[in-house]
């Protein structure tokens, strides 16, 4: 059998394995199938290429440009996913496992592409938070902005998800405008290499945006600066070693760690045998024990159940695990494949033996189990193993030792406080789950265990049909956890993008802030347009372009007609004496929505034109009541423009209503879609 050479992609070139190359065994057969690594890589040239070529090219693009790039990459990978499936079987992963790793990674990239277009500006500067007024008259203001780091992101990934592990870090990094050097774990790096080849060959990425190291990083981490970042996934011990690098500490290099942890699942006291929640709990635990052969950083390692249900859980879970067919992952009948390597198999069995010092194995015998279509001795196969810890309060190994495979330990709790205390014994976890139909139980778990967990997943009969699973990190939500779990976070939507950006406080006049953020700031210069702004196309409008309307007097007849026409006969509009007893009103006042309607009548251009639709109204505030006899006028200003497609873009208008004394009556932002 020919040996696959797994290359690195450095400073624009594919470099084959060389000095220091390591052999990689097939997880199913145990035979050497590939080699990877080259100690002669010029790591400084890689860093320079990322900083001087990839980074500047990405920073020239807007957030929307980069989001479109991510979408194109994801769609390209989707077209070629079968090739990744076929190669990934060699890692011991089943077809279902591929759906999590490969399809999940592509899906994560698509989510970030979508969020980039919807939640970030078509600009180079991200505005973080609202304007802060730092002076009495508003001539000196503050605003937080985020801009891309001008270095490189080093991504060090674990072996269990060679595609998702890379793409879930790469998507927010590229969206932020930062180039990346990806270092996958050697055991499964051949799948990562194929994914990177597909991305590079697509021509979608600018030169230098992504590089790949299949093997060791050499002294790359010793060459980082304050503009660089390191994102690591793996063991807590390795995370500590990397984080302690003197150069990383001395240069305050950003270091994000997502480490494996003793995740748990709590069966609520209400979820007794016979309830939908009990059955759901058993299904969830079984799935988390066997998916990816238990090689998930989010897998359930500790099963926490009411003492009176422990035996029932053991019986139900054992029955379900007994139906798990172990074998060659290419077989359609296989439900659990192999661990990634025989080295990993030895590690899992050693850790299981440690757990066995405090707990009794009640299911699964690594010395006697069936494997279909493969040799159990040559391949990295182990059976699901369930342990029961009768005294979790005095035990230590079950709370600090993780067998990174299909191994989990069940323990009983006396009451909910005890369950939470056991959950927190993990000293920081990526995820805990609680299966309960009782909202009060969920609240107590959230309050008691939240400080020790990055995510808490609740599920029951109401959400079970649409929920994901305990072990599925989603790109919308934070993935990380305190303490043993690494103390960092990944994903989390746009929050994850900010990890690769610098948050800076800028201070200055409204015009200065408007120019920096490409978003008009109240108090900034108003631009006089050549015609009514509603007659001008998206591309013709200028930020700050303003329309001032003539005033309109509000009459008592207007107020009464609006009240009877709409049915809104609230006393403040109809009963003068009652309104005067209200400390907010001088007497009968106009409806707020009447004022909005009049405002629209004052600024709208009625004829057909480039304004296609009114799509929303944000931040409405009423500052001062309007009585019969008062007049209102409107100022309409182009605040922000965001292209949406080739035909139209979104215009955000700043709208203020003032009375005859020029006092602010109401303020809001109007959203319209305007044709190009």
- How far apart (Å, rounded) are the C-alpha atoms in residues 157 and 164? 10
Average pLDDT of span 211-237:
92
- How far apart (Å, rounded) are the C-alpha atoms in residues 536 and 528? 13
User: Quick one: pLDDT band at residue 471, thresholds 50, 70, 90?
Assistant: confident
- How far apart (Å, rounded) are the C-alpha atoms in residues 523 and 545? 13
Percent of the chain residues topping a pLDDT of 90: 90
Q: What is the pLDDT of residues 286-339, one digit of tens each?
A: 999 999 999 999 999 999 999 999 999 999 999 999 999 999 999 999 999 999
Q: Encode 89-100: b = buried (16+ Cβ within 10 Å), e = exposed.
A: bbbbbbebbbeb
Domains, the chain, with CATH or none:
4-121+152-218 (3.40.605.10), 264-477 (3.40.309.10), 514-675 (3.10.129.10)
| Beta-bridge partners for 132 | 142
| Beta-bridge partners for 70 | none
- How far apart (Å, rounded) are the C-alpha atoms in residues 489 and 457? 16
List the structure tokens of 48: 């320079």
The catalytic residues are 258, 297
List the structure tokens of 473: 């990190």
Quick one: how far is CA 100 from the chain centroid? 16
Q: In the prediction, which pLDDT does 517 show?
A: 93
Q: In the prediction, which pLDDT does 39 show?
A: 87
Residue with tokens 């629209």: 600
Q: What is the pLDDT of residues 31-86, one digit of tens each?
A: 999 999 898 899 999 999 999 999 999 999 999 999 999 999 999 999 999 999 99
Average pLDDT of span 507-512:
96
Indicate whether 452 pLDDT > 90: yes
Q: What is the pLDDT of residues 392-450, one digit of tens each?
A: 999 999 999 999 999 999 999 999 999 999 999 999 999 999 999 999 999 999 999 99
Cα distances (angstroms) measured from residue 67 to each of 164, 497, 526, 646: 18, 12, 32, 15
User: Quick one: pLDDT band at residue 487, thresholds 50, 70, 90?
Assistant: confident
Q: Is 0.95 topped by the overall pTM?
A: no
Indicate whether 1 pLDDT > 70: no
Q: Across the chain, which distance is largest between two alpha carbons, in Å? A: 95
| Backbone φ, ψ for residue 186 (5° rounding) | -60, -35
Average pLDDT of span 245-256:
92
Residue 509's nearest CA partner among 498, 496, 499, 522 is 522
Residue 264's nearest CA partner among 421, 127, 124 is 421
Indicate whether 473 pLDDT > 90: no
Q: What mean pLDDT value characterizes the chain?
A: 94
């Amino acid at each position: 059998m020919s040996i696959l050479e797994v290359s690195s992609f450095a400073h624009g070139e594919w470099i084959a394995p060389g000095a220091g190359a390591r052999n990689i065994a097939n997880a199913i057969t145990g035979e050497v199938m590939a080699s990877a690594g080259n100690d002669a890589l010029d790591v400084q040239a890689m860093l320079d290429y990322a900083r001087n070529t990839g980074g500047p090219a990405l920073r020239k693009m807007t957030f929307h440009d980069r989001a479109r790039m991510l979408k194109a990459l994801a769609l390209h990978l989707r077209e070629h996913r079968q090739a990744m499936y076929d190669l990934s079987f060699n890692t011991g992963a089943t077809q279902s496992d591929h759906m999590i790793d490969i399809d999940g990674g592509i899906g994560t990239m698509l989510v970030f592409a979508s969020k980039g277009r919807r939640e970030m500006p078509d600009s180079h500067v991200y505005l973080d938070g609202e304007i802060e007024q730092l002076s009495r008259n508003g001539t000196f203001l503050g605003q937080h902005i985020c801009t891309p780091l001008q270095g490189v992101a080093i991504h060090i990934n674990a072996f269990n998800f060679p595609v998702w592990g890379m793409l879930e870090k790469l998507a927010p990094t590229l969206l932020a405008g930062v180039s990346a050097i990806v270092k996958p774990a050697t055991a499964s790096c051949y799948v990562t290499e194929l994914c990177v080849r597909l991305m590079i060959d697509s021509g979608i990425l600018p030169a230098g945006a992504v590089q790949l190291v299949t093997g060791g990083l050499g002294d790359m981490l010793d060459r980082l600066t304050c503009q660089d970042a390191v994102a690591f996934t793996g063991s807590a011990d390795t995370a500590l070693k990397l984080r302690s690098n003197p150069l990383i500490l001395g240069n305050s290099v950003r270091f994000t760690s997502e480490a494996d942890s003793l995740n748990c699942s709590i069966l609520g006291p209400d979820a007794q045998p016979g309830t939908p929640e009990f059955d759901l709990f058993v299904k969830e635990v079984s799935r988390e024990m066997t998916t990816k052969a238990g090689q998930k950083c989010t897998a359930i390692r500790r099963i926490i159940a009411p003492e009176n249900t422990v035996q029932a859980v053991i019986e139900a879970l054992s029955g379900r695990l007994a139906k798990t067919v172990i074998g060659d992952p290419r077989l359609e009948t296989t439900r659990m494949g192999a661990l990634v390597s025989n080295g990993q198999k030895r590690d899992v069995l050693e850790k299981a033996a440690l757990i066995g010092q405090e707990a009794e194995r009640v299911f699964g015998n690594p010395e006697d189990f069936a494997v279909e279509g493969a040799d159990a001795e040559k391949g990295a196969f182990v059976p699901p193993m369930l342990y029961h810890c009768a005294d979790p309060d005095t035990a230590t190994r079950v709370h600090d030792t993780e067998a990174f495979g299909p191994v989990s330990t069940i323990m009983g709790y006396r009451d909910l406080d005890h369950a939470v205390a056991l959950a927190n014994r993990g000293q920081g976890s990526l995820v805990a789950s609680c299966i309960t139909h009782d909202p009060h139980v969920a609240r107590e778990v959230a309050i008691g265990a939240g400080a020790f967990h990055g995510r808490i997943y609740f599920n029951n009969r109401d959400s079970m049909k649409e929920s994901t699973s305990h072990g599925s990190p989603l790109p919308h939500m934070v993935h990380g956890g305190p303490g043993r779990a690494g103390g960092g976070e990944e994903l989390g939507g746009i929050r994850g993008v900010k990890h690769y950006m610098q948050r800076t406080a800028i201070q200055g006049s409204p015009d200065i802030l408007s120019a920096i953020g490409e978003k008009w700031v109240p108090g900034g210069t108003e631009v006089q347009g050549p015609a009514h702004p509603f007659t001008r196309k998206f591309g013709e409008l200028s930020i700050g372009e303003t329309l001032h309307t003539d005033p309109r007097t509000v009459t008592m007849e207007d107020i009464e007609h609006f009240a009877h026409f709409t049915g809104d006969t609230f006393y403040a509009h109809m009963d003068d004496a009652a309104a005067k007893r209200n400390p907010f009103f001088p007497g009968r006042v106009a409806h707020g929505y009447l004022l909005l309607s009049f405002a629209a009548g004052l600024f709208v251009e009625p004829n057909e034109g480039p304004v296609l639709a009114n799509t929303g109204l944000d931040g409405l505030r009423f500052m001062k009541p309007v009585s019969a006899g008062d007049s209102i006028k409107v100022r309409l200003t182009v605040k922000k423009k965001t292209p949406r497609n080739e035909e139209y873009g979104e215009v955000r208008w700043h709208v203020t209503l003032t009375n005859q004394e020029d006092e602010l009556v109401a303020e809001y932002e109007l959203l319209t879609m305007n044709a190009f």
